[in-house]
Structures are given as C-alpha cells and as structure tokens.
Amino acid sequence: MKLFLSLVFVAAALVSGCAKHDHEKPASGGHVHTAPHGGTLVELGEHAYNLELVREGEAGKLVAYVLDGHAENFIRIAAPSIEVVAQTGGQRRVLTLAATANVATGETVGSTSQFEVQADWLKTIGDFNGEIGVVDIRGTKFGPAAFSLKKGAK
C-alpha cells in the first residue's frame, strides 16, 4: 500500500508541472512568470524558454538573458549574438546583442546566458515594438518572437 501511495504522489507531482510554482494569473487565463531583472519576458517556444529584455535607458543599453521556461534559471548558449529588430517611429532598427562573458558566474563568450548592445537612440526613445530573431538553444531553433518594450520598463 505504501508503494502505491508513493507512486500516486509522484504521478500527481509530475502532472502538476507548473502548478507547483506560484504564478500570477493573467485575465486571459494561463499563467505568467516574473522577470528576475525586472525586464520584459519574451516566451520562446511553448513554455520552453524565455528571453528577458532589460533596458538600461541612461546607458543606452539593451541586455537579454536566456532563461528557462519558468524564468528561474539561466540557460547558457553557444550563440555569438542575438538579433533584435526594433520598430520605432516607422523605422526599422537592427540591434545585434553580443554574447557577454561574466567572471562572477563563469560564463564565457560561447557559453553564456547574457547578451548586450549599446545604442544611443535607446537613451531617448519611448515605447517600441520589436521582434527577436531566431535563437538556437540547445540545438533547437526558436523565433522569431514579437515583443513590446515600454519606456518605463527596464
């Protein structure tokens, strides 16, 4: 009987999947995750991965972090860059976010979860929409993926 109850418990835990996490419930149903750096999350695949976009307005910098499906863990990838196309005031602006090494985490170019670019126009531009190009994560290609970045958002 103990074995049966143990198996039932394990099965229930596996079926619950996301239910074990504390999620905000959007009005449209489903659930959302919280961006660890306060940025904008862009889902890649169906709950497979997330890309968090963090805007550092004063520096004119855009940083992207590759995260797991719950936006809890960093996912290192080999890509040298991630391309983002921003639509601003009727203009199409291509940003190439370069892979960034991080001594604190041991991440290196070629094995990192962090990508960034600096562009002076990011200091002054308001809200804008954009699209993340194709991103290869662990041998699977994701994208393009649309996003909307608010001026007040990181």
State the CATH number of the domain containing residue 101: 2.60.40
Indicate the number of domains in the chain: 1
In a domain, 46, yes or no: yes
> How many angstroms separate the first and last alpha carbons of the chain?
53
What pLDDT is stored for residue 57 in this prediction? Answer: 83
What pLDDT is stored for residue 151 in this prediction? Answer: 73
What pLDDT is stored for residue 4 in this prediction? Answer: 40
C-alpha pair distances (Å), 48 with each of 7, 66, 70, 149? 27, 11, 8, 21
What pLDDT is stored for residue 105 in this prediction? Answer: 87
What pLDDT is stored for residue 153 in this prediction? Answer: 53
In the chain, which residues have pLDDT < 50? 1-29
In a domain, 83, yes or no: yes
Contact 116, 99 (CB under 8 A): no
Q: Range of 41's domain? A: 37-149
In a domain, 54, yes or no: yes
In a domain, 103, yes or no: yes
In a domain, 97, yes or no: yes
What pLDDT is stored for residue 24 in this prediction? Answer: 43
In a domain, 59, yes or no: yes
In a domain, 9, yes or no: no
In a domain, 50, yes or no: yes
